[in-house]
């Protein structure tokens, strides 16, 4: 999950890097100027059995094209086993530096001795982005990122991209620097929005500008960049999810847009973890609604994955 209450510098990364005379990043990745290209993405995989069920259903029976996994969480082994049987799923890492729930908590993968600034009085990751930004050093952030990547590699989990749970890695420029450093070093795409950013700017207007220089750096490192990011589905009313998704898809501008969801199929214990259970179920229902699939086909919307973005970036780099 990405929460944007405390990530003002995130929008700096989202500020438009293109003008009307310039190509979208979709064009630079080989699509046509008018193509609307979409990643329908599920966050919080591995967080719970319910989260895994929802993500799998959204991909297998619905229109979701991508997900990302929270490596410190208890249900990662289940999704690791699934991915061994379904290696083509577009699966990234939802780099997790917070543990926000009250009754269900998790610890840093690197261990408290190595990242003491990431740990609260219970020995768990801090519950808020603000607490992380106050206590954790960039070295600790990088250590935990690397530990989570290492655990995924040890479990055989494919890593098609990296993003950030609750947006923590966008909370401070020096955190984002370590995020970008690991992605560029390992050649793994990271969440970076450098195009028209229509929805990103509207949802997060407090742009500061500090991270704008990272867009060309990320692109020049051989990693893809997308044009826009939509996150508001988390606050949509459950009964309106499908209707709002349809309206959103109809309104998208050309370019690559990622739309975030938190699809889950709640088990009996899931409401004890989060009060957002109805919202997450509604995400799963919207992503598996035949009307949504039909609309995508009728509108000529192109669904893509981070894996495809990287392959297209490799091809574009070879031609540069």
DSSP 179-243: HHHHHHHHT--B--B-S--HHHHHH------TTTTHHHHHHHTT---BSEEE-GGGGS-GGGHHH
The conformation of residue 125, written as its DSSP 8-state character, comes to: B
Please classify residue 144 by burial: count the beta carbons closer than 10 Å to its beta carbon, then call 0-12 exposed, 13-18 middle and 19+ buried: buried
Return the pLDDT at 285. 98
The conformation of residue 127, written as its DSSP 8-state character, comes to: S
Residue 3 lies in a domain: no
Answer whether residue 10 shows pLDDT above 80.
no
Most distant CA pair in the chain, distance: 55
Dihedral class, residue 187 (left if φ above 0, else alpha if ψ from -120 to 50, else beta): left
Mean pLDDT, residues 69-82? 98
Strands 228-230 and 162-164: unpaired
Residue 2 lies in a domain: no
pLDDT in tens, 112-156: 999 999 999 999 999 999 999 999 999 999 999 999 999 999 999
Strands 66-69 and 302-303: unpaired
Question: Given the structure tokens 């410190």, which residue do they identify?
Answer: 72
Answer whether residue 12 shows pLDDT above 50.
no
Residue 165 lies in a domain: yes
Lowest mean pLDDT among 37-46, 54-63, 196-205: 196-205
The conformation of residue 65, written as its DSSP 8-state character, comes to: -
Any idea what the CATH number is for the domain that residue 63 is in?
3.20.20.370
pLDDT in tens, 182-240: 999 999 999 999 999 888 878 765 433 567 789 999 999 999 999 999 999 999 999 99
Residue 77 lies in a domain: yes
Detail the DSSP E strand segments found in the chain. Answer: 36-45, 66-69, 91-95, 162-164, 228-230, 255-261, 302-303
CA distance 57 to 293: 14
Mean pLDDT, residues 245-256? 98
The residues, ordered by sequence, that sit 6+ positions from 194 with a Cβ below 8 Å of its Cβ are 13, 14, 16, 17, 18, 25, 215, 218, 219, 225, 226, 227
Q: Average model confidence (pLDDT) for the chain?
A: 92
Look up the domain containing 85 and give its range. Answer: 10-319
- Greater confidence (250 vs 316) lies with 250
Return the pLDDT at 92. 98
Number of domains in the chain: 1
Residues, the chain, total?
320
Rg (CA), the chain: 18
Phi, psi of 255 (to 5 degrees): 125, 180
Residue 1 lies in a domain: no
Answer whether residue 60 shows pLDDT above 90.
yes
Residue 209 lies in a domain: yes
* C-alpha of 276 from chain center: 18
Residue 28 lies in a domain: yes
- Residue 5 — pLDDT band, cuts 50, 70, 90? very low
Residue 4 lies in a domain: no
Mean pLDDT, residues 62-69? 98
The residues, ordered by sequence, that sit 6+ positions from 12 with a Cβ below 8 Å of its Cβ are 207, 208, 209, 210, 211, 212
Return the pLDDT at 7. 44
The conformation of residue 119, written as its DSSP 8-state character, comes to: B
């Amino acid at each position: 999950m990405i929460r944007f209450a405390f990530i003002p510098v995130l929008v700096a990364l989202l500020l438009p890097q293109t003008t009307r005379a310039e190509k979208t990043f979709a064009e630079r990745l080989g699509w046509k100027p008018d193509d609307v290209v979409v990643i329908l993405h599920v966050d919080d995989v591995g967080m719970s059995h319910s989260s895994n069920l929802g993500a799998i259903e959204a991909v297998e029976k619905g229109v979701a094209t991508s997900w990302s996994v929270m490596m410190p969480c208890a249900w990662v082994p289940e999704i690791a086993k699934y991915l061994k049987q379904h290696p083509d799923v577009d699966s990234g890492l939802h780099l997790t530096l917070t543990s926000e729930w009250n009754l269900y908590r998790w610890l840093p993968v690197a261990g408290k001795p190595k990242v003491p600034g990431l740990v609260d009085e219970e020995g768990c990751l801090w519950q808020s982005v603000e607490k992380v930004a106050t206590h954790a050093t960039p070295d600790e952030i990088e250590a935990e990122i690397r530990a989570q990547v290492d655990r995924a590699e040890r479990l055989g989990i494919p890593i098609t991209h990296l993003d950030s749970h609750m947006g923590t890695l966008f909370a401070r420029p020096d955190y984002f620097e370590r995020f970008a450093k690991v992605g560029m070093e390992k050649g793994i795409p990271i969440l970076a929005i450098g195009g028209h950013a229509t929805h990103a700017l509207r949802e997060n207007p407090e742009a500061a500008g500090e991270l704008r220089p990272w867009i060309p750096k990320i692109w020049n490192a051989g990693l893809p960049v997308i044009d826009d990011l939509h996150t508001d589905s988390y606050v949509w009313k459950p009964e309106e999810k499908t209707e709002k998704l349809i309206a959103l898809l109809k309104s998208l501008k050309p370019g690559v847009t990622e739309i975030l969801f938190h699809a889950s199929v709640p088990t009996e214990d899931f409401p004890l973890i989060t009060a957002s259970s109805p919202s997450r179920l509604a995400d799963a229902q919207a992503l598996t609604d035949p009307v949504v699939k039909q609309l995508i086909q009728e509108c000529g919307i192109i669904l893509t994955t981070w894996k495809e973005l990287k392959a297209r970036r490799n091809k574009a780099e070879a031609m540069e």
